Amino acid sequence: MASFLYRIGRFSFRHKWWVIAVWLVAALSVAGLVGALSPKFAKDFSLPGTDSGTATSQVEEYFPEVMKQQTQASTSVLVAAEDGLGAHASQIDGLVTDLQRLPDLTDPASVVNPDTVAKAQPALASSVIGDNGKVGLIQIRQNIEMTDLTVDQKEQLQEILADHRGDGLQVEATGSLMQVMEAGGKAEMIGFAVAFVVMIVAFGALVAAFIPLVTGLVGVMLTIMLLTLSAKFLSINETATAIVTMLGIAVSIDYALFIVSRYRNEVRRGGSRADAAGRAVGTAGTAVVFAGMTVMIAVVALTVIGIPLITQMGLGAASAVLVAVIAALTLIPALLGAVGRFAFTPRIPWIKHAEESDTADTLGVKFGRMVVKRPLPYVIAGLAVLVLAAIPMTKLELGMSMTSDDEAPAQSLLQRGFGEGINGPLLVVLHSDNGDVAAAADRTVAHIKTLDDVANTNTLVWTGNGKPAPNVGADTALISVTPTSAPSDGATHDLMEEIRAYTPSAEAAGAQLHVGGQTAIMSDLSAKLDKALLPYLVVVVGLAFLIMIGVFRSIWVPLIGTIGFIFSVCATFGVTVAIFQEGTFGLIDNTKPILSFLPIFLIGLVFGLAMDYQVFLVTRMREEYVHGMSAKDAIIAGYRHGSRVVTSAAIIMISVFAAFMLSPDTTAKMIGFALAVAVAFDAFIIRMMVVPAIIAMLGDRAWGLPKWLDRFVVNFDIEGSAVRDRGLPPSDSAAAPREPVGSPS
């Protein structure tokens, strides 16, 4: 493989303009197709193979109007006053008048003062007035798809609320309008800005710092356009683009950083720059290929979960990694060829140029010597930190609360006045093939009313042609069950399962029973993710472990790296639970359970990045060991050539992920925080400290395979032995003339 990649790198360098032109033509062609076909992302979310998925399908078929209402914007405005709403009648009337001016209201006349409704229609009082007349509910329904709401519309509502809040009246809102989020892009821009600064420090030159950014932008944009184009032929959810962008930026910059660093080292060794590019791609590029394979395994394995949206995210992310690998192997050497002798110019005078010589004592080398000299204390200290950080993980609670921080005050009022379940009803669908569902519906409603945590039920019985009808002769019934507890509460999940447990009785009455609605979908999603976690771990870790055996030709190195990853992930969960669930240090105002999908995403993304750093750092150690260095000297050499790259890449990734903590929403903060902390723990404690320390303790044993296994493991030549000295003068490479890398002359 090294020889093949050497030829690719050398060819791309020598035929730079052709290679760059091919990338430009590919990008412009895809952009042109996207513009011509105007594909649109899907906005629906489904869980095939689950009870809620079946219920959703039946609601779509038999109750299309109800399904339409489920997808349209619905927002609840809460008003509260300790001296009673009646004392603020004119203030609330002014609020209602302004709310009636919101766009596309289904029925402006339905937006009324709750105190007025209660006095005019006492039968409806309990649905709009709560807490002894101190809390009121104003429901706003709009003829707008929830996914089509804009930030401007949210801000319009917030201004109305602010105008009428005060003088003893609390005014808050929750629901569709309050869940609108600003378009992404800020985090990515911050990530690119930090990446540029870090690469200037890493290379000590401006031109070289731009090259990884260029490939990162090209790779991510091309992948997003390809994903958009595929939406013309497949059902692709827009949410899938988030992980593609995040991971695409991460690996593109990582891989470019690694190859450009190796190229500079190869130029210093001598020979032509084309040969140096070939050797860089043949050695570092081999590591990039296997690192990319590991990441792709981690994200493609998300398909085992069986959720279409997550499958799309996994396959989209794998596409981003594949494009990043191809760009690193072809576009990077082509860009290096285009800038020629100017690659490492202009020099930044106050930044020490990395790797000035093979004998320079950099910080990485000094740290490596300390680790090699006394490895055991570093192993104990590193693992102790992670174990202590992991302790709060014992309190881990998973949930799917998608309520934004902006909604927290309104949710508190909703709970106080009406119970938290009012915005998360369960939809029970009963269908009878014999054309009479009335008896089964009556029995089911009677049973549900006996269950705990039920606020109320409402039954709508329809005929098969979608027309409302009397109970007699109807074949489908829809029962709306309002829980007392919140949609993400464990009690709501228990209620859903108790209703489903009534299925045999419903079947005995001649009807099929299924429970759906957004609350049930979220609950089923959590359950499906919990079931999939163990198979996912087995697939990802198992396949990656086998690849690592081939990469390092060792049992110990992959085993140490994999076990170390488990330590870092547990520590990440512990810190995340402490901050976001338990409210430690008071950093989060609205604590909530850890998102159900966070563990599986965190494991997939961070495992892939962790193996990247393992490959980048440890392959250089093996390379030097294979070429004659002692086991401990090889570790120090690995620090000399790899520590700066791994440190730079990790800082960039931490910055990209941490930028999401600037979001006003706790959920986004949680995801960004967890990913940033996971990369920090794994890169700096496991990859840079614990793994090299244990390898130092093992010595020569770390780099061997049992004879029986050695016969079956393919030699991938990740050290690039076949191309290590290709293009250098026949004499000893150490004596070869060195071409200055930081001068345009």
The phi, psi pair for 180, rounded to 5°, reads: -70, 130
pLDDT, position 734? 43
Low-confidence stretches of the chain (pLDDT < 50) are: 354-356, 463-472, 732-745
If 0-12 CB within 10 Å is exposed, 13-18 middle and 19+ buried, where does residue 320 land?
buried
d(CA 531, CA 600): 11
What is the distance in angstroms between the CA of the first residue and the CA of the last residue of the chain?
34
User: Is residue 345 helix, strand or coil?
Assistant: coil
Residues 616, 621: Cα–Cα separation, whole Å: 9
Q: What residue type is 539 in one-letter code?
A: V
Residue pair 718/622 in contact by the 8 Å Cβ criterion: yes
Same fold flag, 1-38+183-358 and 361-405+532-717: yes
Secondary structure (3-state) at 163:
helix
Backbone angles phi, psi at 482, to 5 degrees: -95, 115
Which neighbouring-strand residues pair with 196?
none
Distance CA 22, CA 19 (A): 5
pLDDT at residue 151, as a whole number = 87
Buried-exposed string 67-104: b where 16+ CB fall within 10 A, e elsewhere: beebebbbbbbbbbbeebbeebeebbeebbebbeebee
* Upper half-sphere CA count for residue 639 (Cβ side, 13 Å): 27
**Residue 168: DSSP 8-state:** T
Neighbours of 700 (CB within 10 A): 10
Rg (CA), the chain: 30
- Report d(CA 671, CA 406) in Å as an integer: 18
CATH architecture, domain 71-179? 2-Layer Sandwich (3.30)
- The answer to whether residues 74 and 67 touch, using CB atoms and an 8 Å cutoff, is no
The CATH architecture to which 425-516 belongs is: 2-Layer Sandwich (3.30)
Query: H-type helices in 553-597, by residue range?
Result: 556-576
163: its two tokens: 């105008």
pLDDT at site 694: 95
Classify residue 394 by burial, with Cβ atoms within 10 Å: 0-12, 13-18, 19+. exposed
| The token pair that represents 397 in the structure block | 């609670």
Task: Map out the domains of the chain as residue ranges.
Answer: 1-38+183-358, 71-179, 361-405+532-717, 425-516
By the 8 A CB rule, do 247 and 299 touch?
A: yes
C-alpha of 54 from chain center: 27
Contact 482, 462 (CB under 8 A): no
Those residues whose C-beta lies under 8 Å from the C-beta of residue 168, and which sit 6 or more positions away, are: 81, 82, 83, 87, 88
Q: Which of 526, 501, 510 lies closest to 594 in space, CA to CA?
A: 526
3-class SS letters over 656-714: HHHHHHHCCCHHHHHHHHHHHHHHHHHHHHHHHHHHHHHHHHHHHHHHCCCHHHHCCCC
CB 699 within 8 A of CB 632: yes
**For the packed helices 691-698 and 375-390, what is the interaxial angle rounded to 10 degrees?**
140
- Of 591, 572, 569, 595, the closest CA to residue 580 belongs to 591
Given this model, what pLDDT does residue 129 score? 92
CATH of domain 1-38+183-358: 1.20.1640.10
**Hey, what are 348's tokens?**
């930044």
Q: From CA 230, how far away is CA 236, in angstroms rounded? A: 7
Mapping DSSP to helix (H, G, I), strand (E, B) and coil, where does residue 340 land? Answer: helix
Q: Given this model, what pLDDT does residue 160 score?
A: 95
Q: To the nearest 10°, the Cα dihedral for 354, 648, 27, 188? A: -140
Domain spanning 361-405+532-717 has what CATH number?
1.20.1640.10
Token pair recorded at residue 659: 């930028």
pLDDT in tens, 54-95: 998 888 888 877 777 777 888 999 999 999 998 999 999 999
For residues 670 and 596, the answer to whether their CB atoms sit within 8 Å is no
Q: What is the Cα–Cα distance from 558 to 545, expressed in whole angstroms?
A: 6
Q: What angle do CA 195, 196, 202 make, to 5 degrees?
A: 85
State if pTM tops 0.85. no
CA distances from 669 to 141, 146, 466, 579 (A): 30, 23, 44, 11
Those residues whose C-beta lies under 8 Å from the C-beta of residue 200, and which sit 6 or more positions away, are: 206, 209, 348, 351
pLDDT, one tens digit per residue, over 152-165 is 999 999 999 999 99
Tokens of 585: 């240090």
Cβ neighbours of residue 725 closer than 8 Å, sequence gap 6 or more: 733
Q: Of the candidates 437, 637, 401, which has an alpha carbon nearest to the alpha carbon of residue 523?
A: 401
Instruction: Read off φ and ψ for residue 582, nearest 5 degrees.
Output: -95, -15
Neighbours of 21 (CB within 10 A): 12
